[in-house]
Structure 1
Amino acid sequence: MIRRTLNASQLQQEVDRRIHRLQEIVEDGVKIRVPRPQLQEADKTGCNWNMTHFGNAVGFERDIEGVLKAVRAEYNLNTEVKDTGNPFGD
């Protein structure tokens, strides 16, 4: 499967969205802090990012790992740098 690419903010939002719609987390009313994805060398599956150090996640590690596994299989972190040009025009 070819992964789509997202920027760091988009990946963070996607992981956050999926975590906070899990039944156990909704039922407990927990707000988990989702960190920014960190670029890494592509692993054996071809994924080039990871997330660590989720906040307020005690007891939900297994659920979070499941979400991460799914999102890492679908998306890669966009590594292209946009050329915004010279804002001063010189």
Structure 2
Amino acid sequence: MTTPSTHPAVWCDFNAGGWSGRPDDDCYYVLDRERLKDLKAKAGMKVFLYDDESADGKEVVGIEAELVEDRDSLIAKPLEGAFYHGPRFW
């Protein structure tokens, strides 16, 4: 991904991926729940998952994803494409 995303940004812990244990699980499970609430997020919504890449928060790493339901909660399934590395754009 070389250009900024047009989807709303949602912080994600990229270390919290694949928690179901299924070999095909590429979903992320730890998302900013307060931000999702503010967005009135629901399954099917597309978002830009990100985490800070620099201590000052000006550089981020992220990927576009679709929110999916998982037991009374939302998790994020990455869309096809490369990760974005660059300046915060929102």
Work out whether the TM-score is over 0.5. no
Whose relative contact order is higher, 1 or 2, with alpha carbons under 8 Å and at least 6 apart?
1
Higher strand fraction (1 or 2): 2
- TM-score normalised by length of structure 2: 0.31
TM-score computed with the length of structure 1 as normaliser: 0.31
The structure with more helix, counted as a fraction of residues: 1
Larger Rg over CA atoms: 1
